[in-house]
Structure 1
Amino acid sequence: MSVMTVTGYKPMEINIFKHDDERISIIKAAIEKRLIGFIEEGLEWVLISGKMGVELWAGEVVLELRDRYGLKLAVIPPFENQEERWPEPIQQVYQEMTAAADFFRPLYKGGYNGPYQYQASNKWLIDKSDGCLFLLDEEFPGSNRYFYDEAKQAAGDYPIYLITPADLEDMVEEIRMMDPDYWD
């Protein structure tokens, strides 16, 4: 697998309302761990639409891994200026990310015109990738359900890899065990 889409929840869907919430570092650590495994198997590109939340956090992880592993980031938003109604700190992160990405191009010219843009974006990301990594609790899919349903219906053998709440709990424990004070 050389190209992977990464997606997941918007921050408010998982009760994260501050851009410096400590849970973000756990989510990013879980994404990094999974991406490194895929890099070792040949992953070269990560695609995101740049939605706030998991996608922006994944983009930050990819940019951190770029120097060590040569991983590349493509940000393909469904339309131009998708960030214009977001909180200012998140807009800034998005703008910095799109400037630093290896590839950036909105799928549609102009602003939001309707839900079809999100549907087309989901289809495009699935068509252009070899699989996806998804932060998802299948009992509470939130707005993720649209991408997830589309990925499950994708023609052929489209692999879907999940980071589940149990995986995040394991990551918390892993981080805790890396702390030298944990063993005292």
Structure 2
Amino acid sequence: MTRLWVTGYRAYELGIFKKDDPKIKIIKYALKAELIRQFEQGVDWVITGPQLGIEQWTIEVVNELKQDYAVKIAMMAPYLNIEKNWNDEKKGQLAKLKTQVDYYASVSMQEYQNPSQLKGYQKFMVNHTDCALMIYDPEFEGKTKHDYALITNLQISKNYTWQTVSFDDLQEFAIAFGEEQESDKNY
């Protein structure tokens, strides 16, 4: 069994505030390509979080790919009721995704108390996965900078492979996506 942690930017960090933002198609296209590559290298579990943005889009993409790959998806929340202060639409979206994963749990069995729960979550994720995929560019920091720092520091003490998809990479995926769309029009 090979388990992949997927994380990255929150939607608002990417300037995405609507479900129909065209950037989501590009990000999902990139996620799909990278996840297929991971599945073909033996990944059979994807573990991600509940955050709006890369993590939730990952769940949607994995569920689409389950038709062609024997893979499972887990959603791990850092603490109970992470959505407590979210608006009703976002709460509903998370509730729906919880029903679409193979496993859901919270690392901390309490609601948010302090930042130590987030550090505990990070440790849980690296201890329960074999590798990571991050949609993250260190030149454009976001909340994922803490995960990025932890993972890059792991290279010193643990054989933990990881990959980032940068903004330059996303631009390349956008070009490929556009070319694919154009090609589809011509058929």
Counterpart residue number, 1:72: 72
Give the Cα separation in 1 of the matches to 2:40 and 2:102.
20
Counterpart residue number, 1:127: 127
Counterpart residue number, 1:48: 48
Give the Cα separation in 2 of the matches to 1:90 and 1:167.
28
Cα RMSD of the aligned pairs, angstroms, is 1.7
Give the Cα separation in 2 of the matches to 1:26 and 1:37.
17
Give the Cα separation in 2 of the matches to 1:116 and 1:24.
31
Tell me the secondary structure at the aligned position of residue 73 of structure 2: strand
Counterpart residue number, 2:166: 164
Q: Aligned pair in 2 of structure 1 residues 73, 47: CA closer, same or farther (>3 Å)?
A: same
Tell me the secondary structure at the aligned position of residue 104 of structure 1: strand
Structure 1 portions without partners, runs of 5+? none
Within 5 Å, which residues of 2 pair with 1:105-116?
105-116=105-116
Deviation at 1:126, TM superposition (A): 0.8
Deviation at 1:181, TM superposition (A): 7.3
Give the Cα separation in 1 of the matches to 2:92 and 2:8.
20
TM-score, normalised via structure 1 length: 0.93
Counterpart residue number, 2:8: 8
Tell me the secondary structure at the aligned position of residue 75 of structure 1: strand
Within 5 Å, which residues of 2 pair with 1:85-104?
85-104=85-104
Is the 1:49–1:121 Cα contact (8 Å) retained in structure 2? no
Give the Cα separation in 2 of the matches to 1:87 and 1:29.
27
Give the Cα separation in 2 of the matches to 1:180 and 1:133.
29
Deviation at 1:182, TM superposition (A): 7.2
Give the Cα separation in 1 of the matches to 2:3 and 2:96.
22
Deviation at 1:81, TM superposition (A): 1.1
Is residue 180 from structure 1 mapped to residue 183 from structure 2 by the alignment? yes
Which amino acid is 1:16 matched to? I
- Corresponding pairs, count: 184
TM-score, normalised via structure 2 length: 0.92
Is the 1:4–1:43 Cα contact (8 Å) retained in structure 2? yes
Tell me the secondary structure at the aligned position of residue 110 of structure 2: coil
Counterpart residue number, 2:153: 153
Is the 1:5–1:131 Cα contact (8 Å) retained in structure 2? yes
Within 5 Å, which residues of 2 pair with 1:20-31?
20-31=20-31
Deviation at 1:112, TM superposition (A): 0.9
